[in-house]
A and B are shown apart, each in its own frame.
Chain A
Amino acid sequence: MLEWFESMGHWAFISVSYGLVTLAIIVDLLSQRLGRNQLTESLRQLRARRQLRKGA
């Protein structure tokens, strides 16, 4: 596998390098979006539980 990759020449190394940077940007974007969504969801659940306790 590694030998095949290396036999592809310089552009294979360049493509993987730029691909890694692109992947890192996507992971960064998704992790921020996911973090915000998780927080919103957990706060929504917390508020719903509090409302229920108040009502009980």
Chain B
Amino acid sequence: MTRYASPPVFYRTAGLWRPWMGLATLLFGVPAIVYGLYFAPPDYLQGESYRIIFIHVPCAWVSMFAYVAMAGAGAAALIWHTKLSELAVLAIAPIGAGFTALTLLTGMLWGRPTWGAYWVWDARLTSELVLLFLYLGVIGLANAYGDSRRGARAAALLALVGLVNLPIIHYSVRWWNTLHQGETVRIFGESSMHESMLWALLAAAMAAKFYFLWSLLGRLRLNLLIAEREKGWVARELKLESADA
């Protein structure tokens, strides 16, 4: 296991895995989007606008999944001081922020035809907005220090503290009376979504997860190159040595 924490070994292993993540994204994503846009029946109440669900819900799930991954990497960075976990925190934050921003924007675009408003200060929407601020805080804090490793550890601490927001996002529709609809898909128990729509949503969710992993591996590889730029293996990977010869 520790072998994979070695930067050059991880860099090469991630490079081998990354194309498979990209392929899985396409294999799940293309059929899900085509089916969701053209073949899934319109909703009996919301009509066509519900089709935003096939991107909104996967983005929302990944926004939370990414945060858990970032906090996990943050915990590893604080406990074991491994460079790789510090870099993982920095790599996950912009991807998570992107997914959260997309969740909010697509939610607004779904909210207008459904609720008649782009935004309401509803518990689910507000807690998701707090999640975006947390991601932005992690990015800002990591870049606020002259010493990048200290910055990464401070960001890791904020990531851990922010974990408290995740149950609030998840249970907000149960704890408060919200305009946002309740859970549509349940792991345990029956989902309230019809099968003709559910499979496309689950496939889109898989695609979003694989895209997250694809992007994470790419950013982590780039962060590794930047952090280790003085090392010989980086020059070899970037094919700089042949230019010197």
Contact = CB atoms under 8 A, between A and B. Distances in A.
B124 interface: no
A13 B110 contact: yes
Interface string A30-56: 001001100110011001000100000
A28 B219 CA distance: 10
Q: How large is the interface on B (under 10, 10 to 19, 20 to 34, 35 or more residues)?
A: 20 to 34
B238 A39 contact: yes
Interface residues of A, number: 23
B240 A14 contact: no
Contacts of B243: 44, 47
Q: Majority SS of interface residues in chain A?
A: helix
B48 A11 contact: yes
Contacts of A32: 215, 218-219, 222
Nearest to A46: B229
Contacts of A6: 112
A10 B48 contact: yes
A21 B55 contact: yes
Q: Majority SS of interface residues in chain B?
A: helix
B149 to A, nearest CB: 18
Contact of B109 (A13, A35, A36, A44): A13
Nearest to B52: A17
A47 B222 CA distance: 19
A18 interface: yes
Given A24-B98, A24-B102, A39-B229, A17 B48 contact: no
Nearest to B244: A47
Contact of A14 (B51, B215, B222): B51
B229 A43 contact: yes
Nearest to B25: A25
Contact of B52 (A14, A36, A43, A51): A14
A44 to B, nearest CB: 6
A17 B55 contact: yes
Interface in B110-125: 110, 112-113
Interface of A: 6, 10-11, 13-14, 16-18, 20-21, 24-25, 27-28, 32, 35-36, 39-40, 43-44, 47, 51
